[in-house]
Amino acid sequence: METTRRTVIAAAAAAGLTAATVGTAHGATVRKPVKELFGKLADGTKVHRWSLQNGGTRLKVLSYGGIVQSLEIPDRHGRHRNVSLGFDTIEDYVASSPYFGALIGRYGNRIAKGRFTLDGKPYQLAVNDGENSLHGGDKGFDKRVWDVEGFTSGSDVGLVLHYTSVDGEMGYPGTLRVKVTYTLTRHGDWRVDYAATTDKATVVNLTSHVYWNLAGEGSGSIYDHELSIAGSRYTPVDSGLIPTGELARVAGSPFDFRRAKTVGEDIREGHQQLLYGQGFDHNWVLDKGSTAKPEHVAVLRDPSSGRTLRIATTEPGLQFYSGNFLDGTLVGTGGRVYRQGDALCLETQHFPDSPNHPSFPSTVLRPGQTYRTTTVHSFGA
Ligand code: GLA
């Protein structure tokens, strides 16, 4: 897109590489992902960090939680910065991370009271967010060590991450075999392909929880970032952030991001939904619906650096969370404290609490079926 061969080479030079080792539109060789020891869990389990780069994007991923620890992209002058919140040590991630950069499963977002019924059978999940289950329970996929392999394929470079969730883990039925592929394309796009199979009927809703600040991690508030979301409706919630079931129109409300506006423009309006979320923490109903191929759904732009993020997905929903619960108690990779609104998340997903809303797109996965979703993050400046 806006990444030209010139900026690719400039980025390569900055990284101490020659042009020949970097993927270009003409299909030059790409560098293999590099693996290093990042740290150890309390029980001695090793956690590795994988570094990969392509088309001007540099990505660092942990085997713990499939966490994006760092994602560097150039600004309009070709200057790289890490645009994703994270920590320097495994201890920090284990101690208390609000899902920084992590893979989320089995169920991204909330399930009311951690309960649902499937084929007439009731299930009780681990409850970890008041009376509700959030992001897969207290030990979701964000806190598991994944098997990771690096690959190069044509002009792409990437990682394949595997995790097997045993029958009954966090209360979910069925052994779920999960495969997530992170690909950096020659254009520097970061593509995430999710796949899963089960041996019993279950529910699945996988996503990624990167906290974006396109001016740079630790640089302050994202309220001046401009955002557009191709969704005419959203799913209003109750005080526990569980959808009421209504698909409300965004028109005439702070939730109208159909035309780009800054995150901060309406965030202080006295709207009941903003009070419940302490800002934006809602699922947008994407106008395109579920699609076989990823389709464009959102653009985020930082006017100061010129950096842009475009999101395309196969998913029908998008959780826009404006970093409301960051409260100045965590210090990130740049040594700076994260405060409310210092980053935002754009989590492509099925709608929250779908197992309890038959009118929402289904999240049920049955034996013999393969769950597949894709989200593509494209960067520019
Ligand atoms: C999700 C939720 C938020 C919050 C964050 C993590 O985005 O929707 O309410 O829990 O994760 O802090």
Per-residue pLDDT reduced to its tens digit, 329-353: 999 999 999 999 999 999 999 999 9
Atom of ligand 1 nearest to the CA of 241: 9
Mutation test residue for ligand 1: of 85, 97, 110, 281, the one with most atoms within 8 Å of CB: 281
Counting Cβ atoms within 10 Å, is residue 201 exposed (0-12), middle (13-18) or buried (19+)? middle
The 10 Å Cβ neighbour count of residue 324 is 16
Q: Is the CB of 237 under 6 A from ligand 1?
A: no
* Confidence at residue 98, expressed as pLDDT on a 0 to 100 scale: 98
Report residue 363 as tokens: 């999240």
Task: Name the percent of the chain in helix, strand, coil, to the closest 5.
Answer: 10, 40, 50
pLDDT averaged over consecutive 10-residue blocks of the chain (381 residues)? 37 38 53 97 98 98 99 98 98 98 98 98 98 98 98 98 98 98 98 99 98 98 98 98 98 98 98 98 98 98 98 99 98 98 98 98 98 98 97
Q: Which CATH number fits domain 32-381: 3.40.50.720, 2.60.40.2130, 2.70.98.10, 2.60.120.650?
A: 2.70.98.10
Calculate how far, in angstroms, residue 321's C-alpha sits from the geometric centre of ligand 1: 7
* Confidence at residue 28, expressed as pLDDT on a 0 to 100 scale: 56
The 10 Å Cβ neighbour count of residue 110 is 22
* Confidence at residue 168, expressed as pLDDT on a 0 to 100 scale: 98
Q: Is the CB of 107 under 6 A from ligand 1?
A: no
Q: Strand 156-165 relative to strand 147-153: parallel, antiparallel, unpaired?
A: antiparallel
pTM: 0.93
Q: Is the peptide bond before 366 cis (omega within 30 degrees of 0)?
A: no
> What is residue 381's DSSP assignment?
-
Contact 80, 16 (CB under 8 A): no
Q: Is the CB of 315 under 6 A from ligand 1?
A: no
Domain ranges across the chain: 1-31, 32-381
Mutation test residue for ligand 1: of 99, 206, 342, the one with most atoms within 8 Å of CB: 99
Catalytic residues: 209, 347
Report residue 142 as tokens: 């964000």
Report residue 240 as tokens: 């526990």
Q: Is the CB of 281 under 6 A from ligand 1?
A: yes
SS3 call for 301? strand
Atom of ligand 1 nearest to the CA of 99: 6
Residues in the chain: 381
* Confidence at residue 7, expressed as pLDDT on a 0 to 100 scale: 39
